[in-house]
Chains A and B, each alone.
Chain A
C-alpha cells in the first residue's frame, strides 16, 4: 500500500513532533522492559505527558551546552541526541549502557552530549550547572548550562542557593522546572503555598517565565528567548506546566488522585496537540504521521531487544571507577578475609 506521505518534513514542528513521539514510545518501552522483568529494578520514572518540556528546551540548546536532569530525565537525554538503545541497555543495567550498567535510569550521563548526569536526589544536580556556568565564563566558551528538575525540587534549599549564586554572578545558566503537578504522591498545592513558581525565581533576580507545556512551540519560543539571554549573562528560570500521566514510578498506581483528575490532566497532551496542529495546518496528514509513528515503534522495539540481548557487566568491573584508573582499586572484602585468615 502506498502511503500518501505529506509534506513538509523540513517543518520544525514536524521535527518536534517526531522527537516527542520517540520519547513517548521510548518511555512506553521502558515500562514494557519492567513488565518483562528485564529492567534493573523498578525505579523507573516516566516522563509521559512532559515531552514538550524536553523537546522545547533542548531544541533551543546548542552543541557544547551542558545540562543535568532529575530522576525523570529520559526524555531530556533523548532530546539532546542520546542513542535510545544504549539508554535502554543502561536502564537494564547492562555493560553497553551509557554508564556500563552502574548508573541506570536515575544516574544516566554522557559527557560527549554534555549530560552532566541525572540525579536520584531531588535538587541534587542543580548546583552543578552553576559550576558549569563558572567554567563557561572562565573559559569564555559561550556554553549555557541547563538544570532540569521537577516541581518537587522547589522544596529544596539547594535550588535557592543555586539561583542566588547564578543571579549574583550573572552566569550563563537556565533553571528549568518541569512542573508535572506532583512530587511523588503530593500535588503541588499541598506542598507549596505559592504555586506561581516563576515568581520565586524572579525574586532572585532571574529572568523568569511560566509556560504552558501543551504546545511545544510555546516552550520552544520561551526557551529560545531565555537561553539567548542566559548566553549573554542573564541567567533565567523557566517553569513548564504539564501533567504526569502515570504514577511516580512503575509500581505506583496513583491512589492519591482520582480518575476524573487524571482524565482531565491527560487532556494536556503535547504529542497529540502537535499532531493536531500538523494536520490542521496541512503540514502533514494522518497517514504520514501514522507511518512515522510505526517507524518509531520499530525503532523503539529494537531498543528493548538490544537491551535484553546485552551482557551484564563483568563482576570485576565492580571495583573499577571508584577512583581514577591510575589508582589502586579497593580490596574486595573476600580477598581481605582470605588474606587475614590465611596467616598461618
Chain B
C-alpha cells in the first residue's frame, strides 16, 4: 500500500501496541492533540489514556519516567517533540538509560524507545531544526535509528520497540508527508543493517535520513554525465554496519559522507575517519564530508536550505572528485 512516512510510523505504533500490551506511549501532546506532527493521532481513542499518556512539559522527567517504567516491565515509547530539546533530557538519557545495564553489571536493561524528530525544512529556526544525532552516537549504550523511507519508518520503529536496549529514534520533519510503498510483512533489511540503495562503480555516498533522497537525486543527475554512484543508507547509526560499506568503497576507491548534522566532531567525521582507516590502501581521494555548516539554522528559507547539504552540493562534490 502507498502511505506517508507519518502514517507508516503511526501504523507501526498501533501494530506494536496491539502485539504487546506492555507498550505505553508518553510525551507532550501525544494524546488528545495527537502529536505535534500527528504521528500519534487518535491513538488515545483506540488505546485509552492509560496507554497514551499526555505529560506536562517536562522532558527530563518524561525520559526518566520511561527509564523507570522500562526497568519495571513496561515497554515505553517516550516522545520528545523536537530533538533540539534533547539537552533537557541528557542526564536521564546518557547517565541513566545508557548506563544502567553496564553500571549494574548486566542485571537489567532499559528497553525503551525515545521517538523524536529533527532536521531542517520548515523554517523552524535555530532551536527547532537541528540534527543532533552525534550527541546520541557519542554515548555507548544508546541505539540510534534514523529511517529515510516509508517502509523503514514502519519496520524500524517496530524493530526499535522490540530491542532489549534503549533506542533513540530520530525521524526527519521534512519526510512526514513523503509517500511510499509499504509492505507490512517484509522489512527491507534486518535491524542494524545498512542498505545499498543504488550501485555504481565510481564513488560511494554513505548517508542516512532525508539526505538519502538528496543523494539519490544527485546520483541520477550524475549518471547523466556518466558518473555512477553507490548510495548506502546506514538506517541505524548504532549499531553501525560498516561491513556493508567496505567492499563498495574498496571497489570505487572514492567515498563521500553526507549528513545534515554539522561538520565538526559530527557523524560524518566519525564515518570519514573509519573509512579512511579501514580503506586507506584503496582510496584515490580523501574521504569527503558533505555535512551541515558549522552554524546555527536560520529561519530564512534561503539561509536554512543552504545551511545543510543540497543535491547541488553533492553533485558538485562528486564532479570535483571524479574530475
Contacts and interface: CB of A to CB of B under 8 A. Distances in A.
Contacts of A117: 100, 103-104
Interface string A164-180: 11001100000000000
A169 B92 CA distance: 21
Interface residues of B, number: 49
A158 interface: yes
A330 B53 CA distance: 35
Interface stretch (A12-20, A33-41, A129-137): A129-137
Q: In the complex, which of the residues A101, A126, A165, A327 has the most CB atoms of chain B within 10 Å of its own CB atom?
A: A165
B299 interface: no
Contacts of B185: none
- In this complex, the interface size class of chain A, counting residues with CB under 8 Å from chain B, is 35 or more
Contacts of A161: 56, 58, 60-61, 64
Given A124-B92, A158-B61, A322 B102 contact: yes
A98 B107 CA distance: 9
Contacts of A190: none
A100 B106 contact: yes
Nearest to A340: B277
B73 A168 contact: no
Given A101-B105, A117-B104, A321-B106, A127 B60 contact: yes
Nearest to B101: A321
B283 interface: no
Contacts of A211: none
Contacts of A324: 101, 109, 163-165
B56 A138 contact: no
Contacts, number: 162
B69 A325 contact: no
A131 B140 contact: no
Given A100-B105, A102-B102, A321-B105, A138 B50 contact: yes
B68 A145 contact: yes
A1 interface: no
Contact of A326 (B100, B105, B164): B164
A110 to B, nearest CB: 7
A66 B69 CA distance: 12
Contacts of B143: 323
Contacts of B65: 127-128, 130-131, 134, 162, 165
B61 A323 contact: no
A253 interface: no
Interface string A57-98: 000000000101000000000000000000000000000011
A98 B64 contact: no
B55 interface: yes
A130 B24 CA distance: 14
Contacts of B278: 340
A156 B58 CA distance: 13
B58 to A, nearest CB: 4
A3 interface: no
A132 B69 contact: yes
Contact of A103 (B92, B105, B163, B239): B105
Contact of B56 (A68, A101, A165, A344): A165
Contacts of B100: 109, 117
Contacts of A220: none
Given A100-B106, A117-B104, A138 B55 contact: no
A153 interface: no
Contacts of A157: 60
A116 interface: yes
A80 B95 CA distance: 25
A325 B109 CA distance: 10
B37 interface: no
A323 B101 contact: yes
B125 to A, nearest CB: 24
A138 B76 CA distance: 12
A128 B101 contact: no
Nearest to A157: B60
A107 B141 contact: no
Interface in B269-301: 277-278, 280-281
A124 B102 CA distance: 16
A128 B71 contact: yes
B11 interface: no
Given A109-B104, A135-B74, A322-B101, 19 more contacts: A99-B105, A100-B105, A111-B71, A111-B107, A117-B100, A117-B103, A124-B91, A124-B92, A127-B68, A130-B64, A131-B71, A131-B72, A132-B68, A134-B24, A134-B65, A138-B74, A157-B60, A168-B56, A321-B106
17 contacts: A109-B107, A109-B108, A111-B108, A116-B72, A117-B104, A131-B66, A131-B71, A131-B76, A134-B74, A135-B68, A135-B74, A137-B50, A157-B60, A165-B55, A165-B65, A322-B140, A340-B278
Interface of A: 66, 68, 97-103, 107, 109-111, 116-117, 119, 121, 124-139, 145, 157-158, 161-162, 164-165, 168-169, 320-328, 330, 340, 343-344
Return the 6 tightest CB-CB contacts between A and B, nearest first: A131-B68, A127-B64, A128-B68, A100-B105, A161-B61, A324-B164
Interface of B: 22, 24, 26, 50-51, 53, 55-56, 58, 60-61, 63-74, 76, 91-92, 95-96, 100-109, 140-141, 143, 163-165, 239, 277-278, 280-281
